[in-house]
Structures are given as structure tokens and as C-alpha cells.
Amino acid sequence: MMLKFYCYLNSPIGKLLLEGHEKALTGIFFPKTWTERNIDDCLLNKSHFTGVINQLEEYFRGQRQDFDLVLDLRGTKFQKQVWQELTTIPYGVTCSYADIALAINNPKGCRAVGMANGKNPIPIIIPCHRVIGKNGTLTGFGGGLDIKQQLLELERKHL
């Protein structure tokens, strides 16, 4: 059985919970989405997340646009396909759910893309915040629309 670890990161968008195991990052949770229940079977170990913390801090300072981390994504084949496509959205750019659906050759899958987007276990690094409504409005985001707006503004500011 693999050991699971967690730590907290104080960030400009609030206190994030990082979760992982010996080999990879498995989750980032926004302030509104984590509870102590998330970490019942995990060990507090901030040093395990040094690389993740450094890269996230660089991102928040506008010094990093791409991440180079080992991720362990748990989801369906379709969800993983959507999450992989999200990683191709350039820093500071937004696209619609329809754009993602087209990119993965599922043009009628906008709703399914939205559902997969909402299940993204590693937001920011897998930039689901860059997906907006077809009409340009901010729509659903696990961390709340205020945090989605902050992330988009941060990226635009540092372009």
C-alpha cells in the first residue's frame, strides 16, 4: 500500500490542500472544497511537496506558465482525455466547453466536457479555470467563480 501525504499551501486565492502519494501529486483542493475528511488516511508532510509548492508559488508570482510535475490522475478514460486537452490551453487564454469537445472529436459532448472539467482533481496545474461559456461568461468552477476570475486575471496580468 502506498503512503498518502498532504500539506497546506497559503496562496493568493486562499489555503490550498495538496494531496499525493510517494510518486505523484493526486489532488489540489480549493478552500471551499476540502474538509478534514479529505486527509483522514494521509500523513502531514510538507517536504514531500517541495517541488509542487515551488512551482505553484512561481505561478502565483507570474514566473511560471507551465508545470513540470508527476501527476496521478484518477478518472474515466473520457475524463482523462478532457484533462489532457485542458493542458494544451495556453497560459492567459480561454476557450469554451464546445472548443474542448471539438478538440477531442466529440462535438456534441459539451455537457460531458463540463462534467469532466468539474471532476478535475488537480486544478490550476490542469487549467480547468481557462474554460468558459461559449458566450464568454464565467461558468461553473469547483473553487467558486471568484477564484476562477482571480486566476484568469493573474494570468492576464503576467502575459
CB 107 within 8 A of CB 101: yes
CB 64 within 8 A of CB 53: no
Buried b / exposed e along 127-138 (16+ C-beta atoms within 10 A): bbbbbbeeeeee
Outline where DSSP puts E strands in 22-144.
Answer: 25-29, 43-44, 95-96, 131-132
CA 139 to chain centre: 15
Nine-digit cell at 71? 501527476
For residues 8 and 94, give the distance between their C-alpha atoms in angstroms, rounded to a whole number.
28
Nearest to 72 by CA among 19, 111, 24: 24
Question: What residues does 21 pair with on adjacent strands?
Answer: 4
Q: Is 7 designated active site?
A: no
* Residue of 42, 95, 110, 128 marked active site: 128
The residues carrying an active-site annotation are 128
